[in-house]
């Protein structure tokens, strides 16, 4: 399934973004992530493999072509009648042809994730370039954009040579060598810091936080001339406590960083869990209120850390 290092798996490309770096930017969402945050809003980007997505509301007036169309027998009609289809996701996991998508004329079945060569992306960036303005460029996000390391380092080097400003949004749960190779080609870094307690971090994301903290410490000591903004998704019941905000502020001060961006938890990705056949732990979780966010922001500001809320980070 993998195309090797010559191509990268990308699950979305969005133009005209103004929230993830300065100016107007083209966002590239790379597939695959070593973390498993239970609140993730991009579940279609978790694994490094194209994903089958099923949208039942589009599935109608069709003789269920996908059922005989699946060579693995993974698709079957619901016993409750109607034209809704059930998919055996274990069998689907090993599928690399997605024949069912080809026979679904209603587009109820779609593939998330497409392999791109660096040249294809460079052509796309050159097309978008006239909309970016002097400050804009590209932002690589995901998933974890640095996971497909050889492809991404190649892409970043090409952008650098072409004078395209690059921003990367990463968990920093990556080897130091990858950051070392990427930094000279990056102008902006957003690094997610989800919890200061390593045990709680592991509970919420599936991995401990030591590597992330070490990488943050290391970057802050380098002479890298770009701008680093730490981002924390504020997740109810996980990290929305004053104690965690205080510990995070102390850590930032200790390593010489002076700004943070708090992003309130939202459920905008909820419908995608159903489309992927996944359950969503946060399906009923209300969003974080502005008052609660302001209370956390006050903790940072008391410790002289500039705190941006939501998409209000000044670029």
Which residues lie near ligand SF4 (CB under 6 A)? 52, 59, 62, 64-66, 70, 72, 74-75, 83, 85, 87, 91-92, 95, 98-100, 103-104, 106, 108-109
**Taking the CA of residue 170 as centre, how many other CA atoms within 13 Å lie in the half-sphere pointing to its CB?**
28
For 2, 55, 67, 116, the CA distances from 74, given in Å and listed in that order, are 22, 16, 8, 28
Phi/psi at 109 (nearest 5 deg)?
-110, 125
3-state helix, strand, coil in the chain (%, to 5): 35, 20, 40
Min separation Cβ 93 and ligand SF4, Å? 8
Q: Output 106 or 309, the one with its CB closest to ligand SF4.
A: 106
Is the bond into 143 cis (omega within 30 degrees of 0)?
yes
Min separation Cβ 50 and ligand SF4, Å? 9
Min separation Cβ 242 and ligand SF4, Å? 46
Tally of CB atoms within 10 A around 132: 20
The residue written with tokens 């690589």 in the block is: 140
Min separation Cβ 283 and ligand SF4, Å? 23
Q: Output 90 or 268, the one with its CB closest to ligand SF4.
A: 90
**Residue 16 · residue 24 · CB < 8 Å:** yes
Q: Output 108 or 189, the one with its CB closest to ligand SF4.
A: 108
Within the chain, where are the H helices?
A: 66-69, 89-93, 99-103, 118-132, 149-161, 176-182, 198-205, 210-221, 242-255, 270-275, 290-302
Q: Output 64 or 157, the one with its CB closest to ligand SF4.
A: 64
Min separation Cβ 92 and ligand SF4, Å? 3
Min separation Cβ 68 and ligand SF4, Å? 10
Q: Tell me, what DSSP letter sits at residue 285?
A: P
């Amino acid at each position: 399934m993998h195309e090797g290092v010559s191509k990268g798996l990308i699950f979305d490309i969005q133009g005209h973004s103004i929230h993830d770096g300065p100016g107007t930017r083209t966002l590239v969402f790379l597939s695959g992530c070593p973390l498993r945050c239970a609140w993730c809003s991009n579940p279609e980007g978790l694994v490094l493999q194209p994903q089958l997505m099923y949208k039942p509301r589009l599935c109608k007036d069709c003789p269920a072509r996908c059922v005989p169309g699946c060579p693995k027998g993974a698709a079957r009609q619901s016993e409750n009648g109607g034209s809704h289809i059930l998919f055996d996701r274990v069998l689907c996991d090993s599928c690399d042809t997605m024949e069912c998508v080809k026979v679904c004329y209603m587009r109820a079945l779609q593939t998330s994730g497409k392999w791109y060569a660096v040249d294809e992306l460079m052509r796309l960036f050159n097309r978008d370039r006239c909309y970016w303005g002097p400050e804009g460029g590209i932002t690589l996000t995901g998933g974890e954009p640095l996971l497909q390391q050889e492809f991404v380092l190649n892409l970043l080097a090409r952008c650098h040579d072409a004078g395209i400003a690059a921003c990367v949004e990463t968990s920093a749960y990556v080897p130091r060598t990858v950051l070392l190779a990427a930094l000279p080609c990056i102008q902006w870094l957003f690094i997610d810091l989800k919890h200061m307690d390593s045990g709680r971090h592991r509970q919420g994301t599936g991995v401990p936080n030591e590597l992330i903290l070490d990488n943050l410490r290391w970057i802050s000591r380098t002479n890298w001339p770009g701008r680093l903004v730490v981002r924390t998704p504020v997740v109810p019941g996980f990290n929305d406590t004053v104690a965690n905000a205080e510990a995070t502020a102390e850590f930032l001060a200790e390593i010489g960083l002076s700004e943070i961006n708090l992003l309130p938890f939202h459920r905008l990705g909820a419908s995608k869990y159903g489309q992927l056949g996944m359950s969503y732990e946060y399906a009923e979780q209300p969003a974080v209120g502005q008052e609660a966010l302001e209370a956390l922001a006050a903790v940072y500001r008391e410790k002289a850390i500039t705190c941006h809320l939501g998409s209000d980070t000044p670029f």
